[in-house]
Structure 1
Amino acid sequence: MNRKILIMGGSYFIGKSIAETFSQFGDDVYVLNRGSRPLHDSRIKELVCDREDQEQLKKILNDHHFEVVIDVSATNKKHLQYLIESLHTDRLASFIFISSSAVYDVENLSIPYKVSDPLGENSYWGDYGTNKIEAETYLKTQLTNSQIIILRPPYVYGENNYAQRESFIFDHLVHHQPIIIPNQGDTLLQFIYTHDLAKICLDLSLKKLDHLSIYNVGNKKPLSIKEWILCLSEVAKREPIFKEFDYLKHGYKIRDFFPFHDYDNVLEINIDFDETLFIEGAQIAFDWYQKTPIEFKKNVRKNEEEIINKYF
């Protein structure tokens, strides 16, 4: 008998990959979201609801009993609380929560950050990280008869990525525009391909695990900023034009002109999985970029122009 699966936030990027993966496996997949994007997949059923409206959430979930729930869109404790209080849990075998590497207090830790490391405020991520910590803390006390799985990915990449990261660089490469990077460009970034994360969710949902299991999930090898851009330039078949910039000296923040925070975001990975080579995932991301219109952030474009004109 096919399992009944609920994915919270399953219409785009990570959630879309997870929905496709479970559906291809043969599960009966439902996604719950606000219905702002069409699904384009007749195999997947959509429940339209604002998850922050608890009354509406309870009403729409009242007639459903799920074996597996994967929560991609929860960003705080309230999101999880409303959902869990609205679920029938009598058949629930696994609850998978997509958390984040932003839960690590990186200023007081050394890389790679371990699952056993204490959690704390991450100054680069602010409320996003502390809200994820509160959500994890709440979840750990719930669902005593189900297995809880918490996944902490670093940066997720791939097709349908609404965060303007690889697409931001592709756009500069294709249009022969200079790419402003922090001095040296040796900050370490760690990634995981969106379908690898989806496959991990599927594989774990099929296993008998402890009541609580927490995993850092990402590629084993991090990339420096320059290495990352060079990989993207290889699939785009364009040479990057690097402009190294001492942004602190001139009173800028790195996010004024670049899509990542300037710290080594490197996890100790405590799960084995078949890792997609970064160059292969990047090629798929580039193919998606080429056929997808993207409106890039105007303030970042303005900052770039200002920096180039003033300092180069």
Structure 2
Amino acid sequence: MTDTALVIGGTRFIGRHTVAELLANGYQVAMLNRGTRENPFADEPRVTHVEGDRTNRTDLRTAALSTDPDVVIDCVAYRPVDVETATDVFADVDAYVYVSSGSAYAAEEIPKREDDTPLRPCTPEQAESDADSTYGNRKAGGDRAVFAAAEAGVNAMAVRPTIVYGPNDYTERLDYWIDRVISHDRVIVPGDGDSIWQLAYVEDVASALRIVAERGEPGAAYNVGDRRALTLAETVSEIAAAADTECEVVPASADALAAGDLTPDEFVLYREYPHLLETCSLAALGWESTPVAEAMARSVADHRDSNRDGSKWDPGRAREERVLGVKDTL
């Protein structure tokens, strides 16, 4: 008998790739969302759509009764109460997997480990907030809700991706760098270029969610990120290779950037302290990471086929040109 997976979300980015991953591995799939976005699986007979608001308990209950899922993958739980409600409604499923985040970690450690690195606190006020500044706190609160549900006998688990990239990435964080590489032969990277903010290829996140649902331990959390973590300068070089173009990486210190009234933090994917997640627990379940060159090639190809340019992250090319001019005189 074919298993049924309910994906809460399912049309935009991580959820979309998760549906594709489940289909590729023989599942019947149902999606619960509000139906406000185009459904990429509208013509797929193995995918059904349940319209509803994931923050509404009645809508969750309707989805549970109408789809009778074996597995639930929750891509859009942004408050601890969302997880608490879902683990109650879906208490009897074979696996409930919550998409958490590497930003749930409180301590700056290299690497961040699931059982050792402390999580952020989540106050009642933070738990109800929609502010970007409380995102990690709310994700950590969701993790604790998973742990509590597992203690009560629910087969609940969490997956913590770091920054996710790949086809259909609406955040456009990597698109900024792809656009820079394709459009210019010299690209500024802040600092010495050795900033590390580990990325996670979206198809690998999707496979991690399926594998954890099938083989994970209730009450456990699993980090997911590229097994080969790149520096920012290496990321630019990998993009250039994938785009089959030449691009000079130009490191610029904070003092050099000041010539263009720029600061390192204005460059997306820059991080002063490395963010690196250990992924051994996930690998022990049989998960593998896509080679970076392959993941980057797919990301660049998708970028070229899209209308995304990452311009919302653009610190200003004119200001960068001033920095390049100053560096050329040194």
For the pair 1:286 / 2:300, whether they are aligned, the reply is: yes
| Alpha-carbon distance, 1:60 to partner | 4.6
Does residue 104 of structure 2 align to residue 103 of structure 1?
A: yes
The worse-fitting range, judged by mean Cα deviation, of 285-294 and 43-52 is 43-52
Q: For residue 243 of structure 1, report the CA deviation from its aligned partner.
A: 4.0
Residue of structure 1 in register with 2:17 after alignment: 17
Q: Are 1:184 and 2:187 counterparts?
A: no
Query: Where is the helix percentage greater, Structure 1 or Structure 2?
Result: 2
Cα distance between partner residues in 1 of 2:84 and 2:8:
13
Query: What is the alpha-carbon distance in structure 2 between the residues aligned to residue 31 and residue 195 of structure 1?
Result: 18
> Do the aligned residues in 1 keep the contact of 2:3 with 2:69 (CA within 8 Å)?
yes
Q: Structure 1: state its 5+ residue gaps.
A: none
In the comparison of the two structures, how many residue pairs are matched? 303
Which residue identity is paired with 1:257? F
Unmatched 5+ stretches in structure 2: 122-131, 325-330
Spell out the pairing of 1:81-96 with structure 2 (5 A cutoff).
81-85=84-88, 87-90=89-92, 92-96=93-97
Instruction: State which drifts further: 215-224 or 13-22.
Output: 215-224
Q: Classify 1:68/1:260 alpha carbon distance in 2 versus 1 (closer, same or farther; 3 Å).
A: farther
Residue 205 of structure 2 aligns to a residue in which SS?
A: helix
CA distance in 2: counterparts of 1:52 and 1:211, whole angstroms: 23
How far apart are 1:284 and its partner, in Å? 0.8
**Equivalents in 2 of 1:164, 1:289: separation in Å?**
9
| Deviations 1:10-68 (CA, angstroms, capped at 9, x unpaired) | 11221111111111222110112222322232132122222233444444544332111
CA–CA distance in structure 1, aligned partners of residues 316 and 52 of structure 2: 39
> Could you tell me which residue of structure 1 aligns to residue 277 of structure 2?
267
Cα distance in 2, alignment partners of residues 51 and 254 from structure 1: 38
Task: Report the CA distance between 1:89 and its aligned residue.
Answer: 3.2
Work out the percentage of aligned pairs sharing the same amino acid: 22
**Matched residue, 2:163:** 155
**2:34 partner amino acid:** R
Distance in 2 between residues matched to 1:194 and 1:89, nearest whole Å: 27
Q: CA deviation at 1:103?
A: 1.7
1:137 aligned to 2:144?
A: yes
TM-aligned CA deviation for residue 88 of structure 1 = 4.5
| Structure 1 segment 247-266 matched on structure 2, within 5 A | 247=254, 250=258, 254-266=264-276
The alignment partner of 2:55 has SS state of coil
Matches of 1:40 and 1:126, distance apart in 2: 31
Counterpart position of 1:76 = 79
Equivalent residue for 2:111? 112
CA distance in 1, matches of 2:214, 2:60: 27
Residue 305 of structure 1: how far off its partner (Å): 3.3
Moved more, 34-43 or 275-284: 34-43
TM-score for both structures, normalised by structure 2: 0.82
Q: 2: distance between equivalents of 1:113 and 1:241?
A: 32
Q: Paired residue for 1:195, among 184, 187, 203?
A: 203
AA matched with 1:28: Q
Shift in Å at residue 111 of structure 1?
A: 0.5
Correspondence for 1:214: 221
| Contact kept in structure 1, 2:182 and 2:240, CA below 8 Å | no
Q: Provide TM-score, normalisation by structure 1.
A: 0.87
The correspondence of residues 168-183 of structure 1 with structure 2, limited to 5 A, is 168-176=176-184, 178-183=186-191
